[in-house]
Structure 1
């Protein structure tokens, strides 16, 4: 597998860090908003805070 393939990237909504495409996201890349499960959980916790 070539290592010089340029893959699409996005910015995480929670931490603001860039993250790149993963094979697990091939069918739902348009819906991905967070770089990790921790960021996804953290965004919901932040919404619940007063």
Structure 2
């Protein structure tokens, strides 16, 4: 398999922090299910329940 440039890989936006993150080999089989950029964001979701755009207005 030929190497791809990082800029050519698919990206998503983290539902918790709102930052973009790039596809990783370890997410190859579950990419459609990945919603958070890190374990920290995933665990913060469980604690606070706030998503990007929610909270103080």
TM range (shorter): 0.7 to 0.9
1:7 to 6, 9, 13: 9
Q: Could you state the TM-score of these two structures normalised by the residue count of structure 2?
A: 0.74
Structure 1 runs of 4+ off > 6 angstroms? none
- In structure 2, the gaps of 5 or more residues are 50-57
Q: Matched residue pairs, number?
A: 47
Q: Could you state the TM-score of these two structures normalised by the residue count of structure 1?
A: 0.84
- What does residue 40 of structure 1 align with? 42
RMSD between aligned residues: 1.5
